[in-house]
Amino acid sequence: MTLRAELEVRRERFRLDLSLSVAPGEVVALLGPNGAGKTTALRALAGLVPLTGGRLTVADAVWDEPPGVFVPPEQRQVGVVFQDYLLFQHLSALENVAFGLRARGLRRAQARAHAADRLERVGLAEHAHATARTLSGGQAQRVALARALATDPQLLLLDEPLAALDAGTRMQVRADLSRHLRDYRGHTVVVTHDPLDAMVLADRLVILEQGTVVQQGAPAEIARRPRSDYVADLMGLNLFRGTADGTGVEIDNGGHLTVATPATGRVFLAFPPTAVSLHLQQPTGSPRNSWPVTVGGLEHHANLTRVRLDGAPPVLADITSAAVADLRIQPDMRVWAAVKATEIHVYPA
């Protein structure tokens, strides 16, 4: 009953090559920067873009296997929530939800009854007869979800389902969406560039960069052990590649760090910016790593200040605003950065 996909889509100057499997009831998030091929992958799963190579099967049915097999979108058991929802503007919320059922030949009364039930489940029963263009962003998102689920698809695809919402409604809609996805028994693939959406909604993350998978795993695992600068940046971690020999690690782009857990060979080192402290003189005592750095830039976030530090290695530090004031931190200032060995997470590259 699993969805198995070897998606290969070649275009001029772009190539998507993605291997994906989704178990029933599982929610997989495709996470990646703009242009990574997330939406192309989603369109290939929906049948809106034919594969140029590979194979897509859901349960025992082959949906796409060039050159011989291509099941067009209208014959796939698929539901899609598009980025800006694409509700049919001339129809009411109810008619939008009933559209897929009518298209599959259900009688009007039956389709409407079923659609009304779907709308009630997303809490929009009283907006059933509102036209699509009068709905708020959050309501439109829920109608789009109800419409996609109305035909009981085997595969549910969501393209940036929360991107069009403002910050206020986003949190609530994200929580609701998460609950609906838990209840859904089919396969779900969510495309997003927002790590928080991915973490909350998905059981497993697949990180896509330039058309290929750079990392996949449970959200907690990816948050702890990023394997690319893009992921480290998303998760807000300092990430270095280096060569370990015991507790000493030679960093690839300059510098040397001491870690608590011995390792050998190629490793990743990761630690949060909050683990970095700044000092005017070279700190002494305890097994610390310290090295001279130059303050590159400052950015205020709530009660913390993020300091970009150039040195060997360059590093991000989050320090309190009080510390910024005490140390009189300003750009181009020479300071010492320090990180405890025990704060550094080491894992094989």
Partner 1 sequence: MLVLPALCALAFLVTPLIGLLVRTPWASLSDRLFSAEVGTALRLSLICATCATAICLVLGIPLAWLLARAQLPGRGVIRALVTVPLVLPPVVGGVALLLVFGRRGLLGQYLYDWFGVSLPFTTPGVVVAEAFVAMPFLVISVEGALRSTDTRYEEAAATLGASPWYTFRRVTLPAIAPGVIAGGVLCWARALGEFGATITFAGNFPGRTTTMPLAVYLALETDPDAAIVLSLVLLLVSVAVLVSLRERWIRGAV
Q: Which CB sits closer to partner 1, 61 or 103?
A: 103
Least distance (Å) from partner 1 to the CB of residue 148? 8
- 63 vs 240, which CB is nearer to partner 1? 63
Round to whole Å and give the CA distance between 221 and 216. 9
Q: Considering the complex, state which of residue 28 and residue 111 has its C-beta at the smaller distance from partner 1.
A: 111
Distance CA 18, CA 28 (A): 13
Least distance to partner 1 from the beta carbon of 86, Å? 4
CA 346: distance to chain centroid?
Answer: 23
Positions that interact with partner 1 (CB under 8 A): 46-48, 72-76, 78-80, 82, 86, 88-90, 99-100, 102-104, 147-148, 151
**Nearest distance from C-beta of residue 206 to partner 1, angstroms:** 21
Contact 79, 157 (CB under 8 A): yes
- What is the nearest approach in angstroms of partner 1 to the Cβ of residue 100? 4
In the complex with partner 1, the residue whose CB is nearer, 74 or 221, is: 74
Distance CA 127, CA 348 (A): 54
- 10 Å CB burial of residue 330 (0-12, 13-18, 19+) is exposed
Q: Closest distance between partner 1 and the C-beta of residue 298, in Å? A: 43
Closer residue to partner 1 in complex, CB, 11/334: 11
Distant-in-sequence, close-in-space partners of 277: CB < 8 Å, separation ≥ 6: 283, 317, 319, 337, 338, 339
In the complex with partner 1, the residue whose CB is nearer, 117 or 229, is: 117
- We find the least distance from the C-beta atom of residue 156 to partner 1, in angstroms, to be 11
334 contacts 292 by C-beta, under 8 angstroms: yes
CA distance 159 to 96: 18
